[in-house]
Amino acid sequence: MLKDKVKLNPGEELKLDSSRTKGFMGEEDIDEYSVVDPEGNIVGRVTYTSHMAVKGFKVTKTVCQIDNAGKVIVDVRW
């Protein structure tokens, strides 16, 4: 599902760098990825967040993709 949201050029792939949990009840999961080109160079970063509201249990997911220059490529929430 994450790969449907990001924009990857042919041959690029996502490499998981870190995962962490945030919040007093661990209600927010944050995964950080590197965008790696076919030569193995890091050409961008992706942050994927899944947040479950304590009241109502509504889940909100966000994806933010940036290139090495800091330009936002994708910033979506659903």
pLDDT of residue 10: 96
H helical segments located in the chain: 2-5
CA–chain centroid gap for 30, Å, is 8
Lowest-confidence range among 10-14, 29-33, 51-55, 69-73? 51-55
**Contact assessment for residue 5 and residue 30, using Cβ atoms and an 8 Å cutoff:** no
pTM score, whole prediction: 0.89
* pLDDT greater than 80 at residue 28: yes
Distance CA 46, CA 23 (A): 21
